[in-house]
Structure 1
Amino acid sequence: MHKFLLQVLPIASVILACHAVDSYRASAETNAVEVSSKQTLASMNYDREAKLLLPPDRSDRHATNRTSIEPETDLATTPRVEIPEAASGDSMAQVTSVSQLSDVQPTDWAFQALQSLVERYGCIAGYPDSTYRGSRALTRYEFAAGLNACLDRINELIATASADTVKQEDADTLQKLQTEFAAELSALRGRVDALEAATAELEANQFSTTTKLSALVWANVTGAFADGDVQFESVDLFPPAAFGGVVARRGGRDAVTGRPVVQELTDDPEITFSDLIWLNFDTSFNGRDSLKVRLVAGNADSPANQFTSAGLYNTYGVPFFDQTAGIQGLGNDVVIHELYYSFPVGDNLEIAFGPRINWYRLFDYNAFTFILTGANSFNSNGGTLVNAIDRGSGAVITWKPSKQLQLTAGYIGENTEFLSSTIAPGFNTSSDPRFGLFGGTYTATAELTYSPSQNFNLRLLYNRTRIQAIGGVIGGATGEPIYGIADNGGSAVFDPVTGLVADGGLDAGLADTYGVNFDWLLTPGIGFFGRYTYAKTNLVPGDGEIEAQAMQAGVAFPDLGKEGALLTISYVRPFAILDGRDFLVAGGGNGGVQYEFEANYYFPLTDNIALVPAFYLIANPNNFSDNPTIYVGNLRAQFSF
């Protein structure tokens, strides 16, 4: 036995803590009362109500350094003893007996008595054959730890069984052992009290409010060129200064033909080198909730934007991180990208709410189009038609009833960092009293995710959107599922003399969008992914209607060339018009269907630095079947810390 105790109980106080805390809790749960050692051990006429055989000093869990309950000694008059250094770690206290310094030998009666109790009552689990072996002495504190374990075990037997479970002679033996080792038991009890107090303090203050800061920094080199002159639908060859001096083109109709005004870009844009920075502040108040704040700044305007029709800014061939982040033309201004609070309700439900929720953080996720590592152009990282709002005010509820199913639903009113109501009333409607949370542009979304395994995810999405008209037209930055600009079919007429576009005659658009999205890791080295979206937009007032579809199909090669790397190759149709082309002032083209091939290779150099080359081929750009092909190349350096 002593060999086992030497192995298992070298730190006697720690072991005693485990037994002592359990015994204390058991005694509290049974409403037991304390009795003296003589009453408990000297005879078997123990208290039938308490049904407990108590180790020393269980009467006051907050008291320290008490002695054991001596025979015929009242608790109120129990004297204190000093704790020897071996037990407490403090300076050596005075001892009054040589026996207090003696080890317990295998030949001592105490050793043999405790061994007999252990084997009879199973106080301590020993070797696999339930025996205790060895030939080395135990210190008195190691021995006291074993004795305390036996006291706990016999208390348990008495509390749960009949009185004859514990024999009279064993009770007498325990009484003698408890008396002889009273000082050691008391000393260890003091250490347990201190440990309990420390544990209670930790439990009461187990979490303090903490904010974690992380950052992502990107440097982008981007170039774009075409095989010839590119047609695009816009009244502006170069955008007006009122929109920041960047490519925020306007759509309009020719006053004579009523057809959309078409321009041509004859010169390729220059190569650009730009930056984007995200600062993420993640605060938790109780360890399970999260207050997320993201500040961003950037100065990019991708060269590919020079080729786009009105309403298609930051769409095809534009890497997601090749952007300004804030209002175009105000490069490197710091803006709030995200601000929301989330918390769990039980084990399966989570609620997020705030003035600026990132819709794409909570919906339409795909493992192989994740913006940091996967296919990450604006047309690839999310469904092109699914949502008119990137970020906004509202709430999202996520319910996960099982490992295989997740249901996410939310309502968000548009409130986006790259738009401003000072540019045009109708942007950022949720914070504008003229429109409010329920009167401007908003989206209500429900998504069901089915994951039969860790390697396959299928998502079904429905979106109901109201799109606020600006200048009588809808589309552009808050126009999905419209890719381009739409009016009532003829009112948005351009006056070349004044440079103004007449009101397009619309108040709003009401859209229903249905999407399916999957990712499938077939083997560790190859995966497949795809999306399909169908959308119908009703133009208000009137009975105008635009139907469109979008699709994406791709293949992914995880860990290609290096662990953590990812190569994705995909085919994308961002906006194929099925019906209602006549309502489009821009984006309809001449009836062609734009399609794209994209390749993206994420290559981590270290845990914090990655290089990401990407290539984009855009055929039939702007839905003109006779437009030349556009090629876009991007090299991104990504730093995370």
Structure 2
Amino acid sequence: MFLRLRRLLAPKTVGLIAAAVAAPSATVNAAELNLNDLNQYAAPSLSGEQVTSISQFPDVRPTDWAYQALANLIERYGCVAGYPDGTFKGQRAMTRFEAAALLNACLDRVTEVTDELKRLMAEFERELAILKGRVDGLEAKVGELEANQFSTTTKLNGIATMTVGGASNTGLGDNVTANYDVQLTLDTSFTGKDLLRTRLRAGNFGNSVFGDGNTLMEVAFGEEGAADSVEVDKLFYQFPIGTSWTATVGAKVEQDDMLAMWPSAYPADTILDIFTLAGAPGAYNLNEGAGVGLWYKAPEGGFNASVNYVSASDAARDSSVGAGEEFTVTAQVGYAGENWGAAFVYTYSELGYVFDNSSNNIGLSAYWSPAESSWVPSISAGFGYSDFNTSRPFDEGYSWMVGLQWEDMFIQGNALGMAIGSAGQSNRGSGRIDTGGVWSDPGNDTLAYELWYKVQVTDNISVTPAFFWVERSGRSDTYGGVLKTTFTF
């Protein structure tokens, strides 16, 4: 009997009835049964008050062992009404007649629910068949994807950039040139928390008007080797130490790969490279080579600190104060809030062929971004200072920048940006210093400007027209424009 009950009723319902029927005191003659009590116990329609919640029984407590099972019977199936006095009498033994009446009432309700489900299934039979077909098709596609996927641990993403533009008075004459840069990045994780990054790169900016000097584009600075040749641009491994520390080691790693935060909201994929260095190109020289670094991020967020060492590669970054350095040591402390941040950085550089010895470089940079896109732009600003230990006529240099960016300008997804700053100035001496790619006369300001508008054509394609102007005290100004198209995949 109970086997059939378990098939028809929910397990909690059967358990409740079975426990009650099995009680030793449940054996009662039919003559001893009050039929009025029985009817009202088992059939809500005969009761004076419909029971819809277990809270209506004052003698049932949440600590009772069958509380949840009784709640399901009342609130889900509505087949228990209790006794005429409004109690459930859960501690009283149940007679077989009472069990039969309760079972009959609950079976009627379960049958009603089953019939309703059958009716709904018949009504939506066509939709259910379509849904089943789609699920089967999705499972087949997932199986095919898993069978042909590149790797279970590695993600591949790429950036391809093509530009058409020109500039005047660059040392290469007035030129119009077309260039490209392609980067393929393989990110591998073995534990879900570590990162092995391998990046391959190829391009032809090196000998173009946008390949060096004061018109160096941000997309071109990292290119090495001959044009159109594929090079290993990045190779480093990053892993956590505890919950707050992260270590990085690499045969080819950049300075900023080992910083806990970047203190600027001005995007790194704009136009002139001098505006991507947070106003301090001497400290943030993005030196690349073999390196090791360690950073700390507070568990509650906000405060962070970084320290790293990078040996100079053969093609040292010639657009910064530290061009040709043999190695750099960088230490940074910062704070990254929800929509703002600031950092102080110090970098010691052992210099190569540009300067005779070494330099001490500091930078102070900060940014703020609005919580929502509006006519109020994000603001990034920074200042840098360098002290050179050299026999050359100059011994100091400084730089600064302010960048603004408006998200969703005119059309959602598009962005407008502009920046102004120094292309690098020396404070004293009678010689010239190459800072930020610009040879400037000592004591005179050299300013650079850029204006760009990024059109997000699709999620993966953007087109950015831009104009720039570099004022060079005592020499002819440099100006030009470029149309940059970027593909991400």
Match of residue 605 from structure 1: 457
Deviations 1:410-447 (A, max 9, x none): 1111136x469xxxxxx99xxxxxxxxxxx71111111
Query: Which of the numbers 362, 376, 379 marks the counterpart of 2:274?
Result: 379
Question: Whole-Å Cα distance in 2 between the matches of residues 575 and 517 of structure 1?
Answer: 16
Identity of aligned residues (%): 19
Q: Is the 8 A contact 1:557 1:566 kept in 2?
A: yes
Deviations 1:431-465 (A, max 9, x none): xxxxxxxxx711111111123x3121111111111
Q: Is the 8 A contact 1:394 1:410 kept in 2?
A: yes
Residue 278 of structure 1 and its aligned partner are, at CA, apart by: 0.3
Deviations 1:9-46 (A, max 9, x none): xxxxxxxxxxxxxxxxxxxxxxxxxxxxxxxxxxxxxx
Match of residue 318 from structure 1: 216
**1:323 and 1:634, CA in 2 relative to 1: closer, same or farther beyond 3 A?**
farther
Residue 317 of structure 1 and its aligned partner are, at CA, apart by: 2.6
Q: Is the 8 A contact 2:265 2:369 kept in 1?
A: no
Question: Whole-Å Cα distance in 1 between the matches of residues 166 and 358 of structure 2?
Answer: 37
Q: Is the 8 A contact 1:350 1:397 kept in 2?
A: yes
Question: Are 1:396 and 2:293 counterparts?
Answer: yes
Residue 360 of structure 1 and its aligned partner are, at CA, apart by: 2.8
Residue 304 of structure 1 and its aligned partner are, at CA, apart by: 3.6
Question: Are 1:455 and 2:303 counterparts?
Answer: no
Tell me the TM-score normalised to structure 2 length. 0.66
Q: Is the 8 A contact 2:426 2:441 kept in 1?
A: no
Unaligned runs of 5+ in 1: 1-94, 138-166, 171-207, 233-264, 306-312, 421-426, 429-439, 469-473, 476-485, 487-505
Q: Is the 8 A contact 2:394 2:426 kept in 1?
A: no
Residue 403 of structure 1 and its aligned partner are, at CA, apart by: 1.4
Match of residue 308 from structure 2: 410
Tell me the TM-score normalised to structure 1 length. 0.51
Question: Whole-Å Cα distance in 1 between the matches of residues 243 and 479 of structure 2?
Answer: 49
Match of residue 388 from structure 2: 537
Aligned to 1:579, the other structure's residue is in SS state: coil
Query: Which of the numbers 359, 384, 407 marks the counterpart of 1:511?
Result: 359
Residue 106 of structure 1 and its aligned partner are, at CA, apart by: 10
Question: Whole-Å Cα distance in 2 between the matches of residues 371 and 126 of structure 1?
Answer: 62
Question: Whole-Å Cα distance in 2 between the matches of residues 344 and 108 of structure 1?
Answer: 53
**1:104 and 1:298, CA in 2 relative to 1: closer, same or farther beyond 3 A?**
closer
Question: Whole-Å Cα distance in 1 between the matches of residues 154 and 486 of structure 2?
Answer: 23
Residue 318 of structure 1 and its aligned partner are, at CA, apart by: 2.6
Match of residue 223 from structure 1: 166
**1:528 and 1:108, CA in 2 relative to 1: closer, same or farther beyond 3 A?**
closer
Residue 381 of structure 1 and its aligned partner are, at CA, apart by: 0.7
Q: How does 1:217-616 map to 2 (within 5 A)?
A: 217-226=160-169, 267-269=173-175, 271-301=176-206, 303-304=208-209, 314-322=212-220, 325-327=223-225, 330-363=226-259, 365-372=262-269, 375-382=270-277, 383-388=280-285, 390-401=287-298, 402-415=300-313, 418=315, 441-451=326-336, 453-468=337-352, 474-475=353-354, 486=355, 506=356, 509-522=357-370, 524=372, 525=374, 526-539=377-390, 546-582=395-431, 587-589=439-441, 592-616=444-468
Match of residue 155 from structure 1: none
Residue 603 of structure 1 and its aligned partner are, at CA, apart by: 2.2
Question: Whole-Å Cα distance in 1 between the matches of residues 243 and 316 of structure 2?
Answer: 37
**1:273 and 1:324, CA in 2 relative to 1: closer, same or farther beyond 3 A?**
farther
Match of residue 134 from structure 2: none
Unaligned runs of 5+ in 2: 21-53, 80-89, 94-150, 318-322
Q: Which amino acid aligns with 1:449?
A: G
Question: Whole-Å Cα distance in 1 between the matches of residues 11 and 370 of structure 2?
Answer: 66
Question: Whole-Å Cα distance in 2 between the matches of residues 588 and 321 of structure 1?
Answer: 24
Post-superposition, which runs of at least 4 consecutive aligned residues in structure 1 deviate over 4 A? 95-102, 104-109, 112-120, 122-127, 129-132, 167-170, 542-545, 583-586
Deviations 1:39-88 (A, max 9, x none): xxxxxxxxxxxxxxxxxxxxxxxxxxxxxxxxxxxxxxxxxxxxxxxxxx
Q: Is the 8 A contact 1:119 1:131 kept in 2?
A: no
**1:534 and 1:117, CA in 2 relative to 1: closer, same or farther beyond 3 A?**
same
Question: Whole-Å Cα distance in 1 between the matches of residues 471 and 231 of structure 2?
Answer: 35
Residue 556 of structure 1 and its aligned partner are, at CA, apart by: 1.9
Question: Whole-Å Cα distance in 2 between the matches of residues 278 and 561 of structure 1?
Answer: 30
Residue 637 of structure 1 and its aligned partner are, at CA, apart by: 0.6
Aligned to 1:361, the other structure's residue is in SS state: helix
Q: Which amino acid aligns with 2:160?
A: V
Query: Which moves more between the two structures, 556-565 or 101-110?
Result: 101-110
Question: Whole-Å Cα distance in 2 between the matches of residues 441 and 106 of structure 1?
Answer: 76
Deviations 1:322-364 (A, max 9, x none): 468122xx21101111110001112211111111112233447
Q: Is the 8 A contact 1:389 1:414 kept in 2?
A: no
Q: Which amino acid aligns with 1:635?
A: L
Q: Which amino acid aligns with 2:167?
A: A
Q: Which amino acid aligns with 2:386?
A: A
Question: Whole-Å Cα distance in 2 between the matches of residues 519 and 126 of structure 1?
Answer: 59
Query: Which of the numbers 439, 461, 470 marks the counterpart of 1:618?
Result: 470
Q: Is the 8 A contact 1:386 1:514 kept in 2?
A: yes
**1:520 and 1:99, CA in 2 relative to 1: closer, same or farther beyond 3 A?**
closer
**1:221 and 1:123, CA in 2 relative to 1: closer, same or farther beyond 3 A?**
farther
Question: Whole-Å Cα distance in 2 between the matches of residues 385 and 125 of structure 1?
Answer: 70
Question: Whole-Å Cα distance in 1 between the matches of residues 187 and 220 of structure 2?
Answer: 25
Match of residue 83 from structure 2: none
Residue 224 of structure 1 and its aligned partner are, at CA, apart by: 1.0
Q: Is the 8 A contact 1:349 1:399 kept in 2?
A: yes
**1:631 and 1:588, CA in 2 relative to 1: closer, same or farther beyond 3 A?**
closer
Question: Whole-Å Cα distance in 2 between the matches of residues 583 and 134 of structure 1?
Answer: 86
Q: Aligned pair count?
A: 371
Deviations 1:124-180 (A, max 9, x none): 6699x999424368xxxxxxxxxxxxxxxxxxxxxxxxxxxxx9999xxxxxxxxxx
Match of residue 9 from structure 2: 103
Match of residue 156 from structure 1: none
Aligned to 2:223, the other structure's residue is in SS state: coil
Q: Which amino acid aligns with 1:516?
A: L
Residue 210 of structure 1 and its aligned partner are, at CA, apart by: 0.3
Aligned to 1:380, the other structure's residue is in SS state: helix
Deviations 1:528-549 (A, max 9, x none): 111100110102xx69761000
Question: Whole-Å Cα distance in 2 between the matches of residues 211 and 549 of structure 1?
Answer: 42
Aligned to 2:191, the other structure's residue is in SS state: coil
Residue 98 of structure 1 and its aligned partner are, at CA, apart by: 5.0
Query: Which of the numbers 153, 175, 179 marks the counterpart of 1:210?
Result: 153
**1:124 and 1:548, CA in 2 relative to 1: closer, same or farther beyond 3 A?**
farther
Aligned to 2:199, the other structure's residue is in SS state: strand
Residue 611 of structure 1 and its aligned partner are, at CA, apart by: 0.8
Aligned to 1:638, the other structure's residue is in SS state: strand
Match of residue 76 from structure 1: none
Aligned to 2:236, the other structure's residue is in SS state: strand
Q: Which amino acid aligns with 2:486?
A: Q
Decide which structure has greater strand share: 2
Aligned to 1:606, the other structure's residue is in SS state: coil
Deviations 1:260-302 (A, max 9, x none): xxxxx7x422x11111100000000011000000000001247
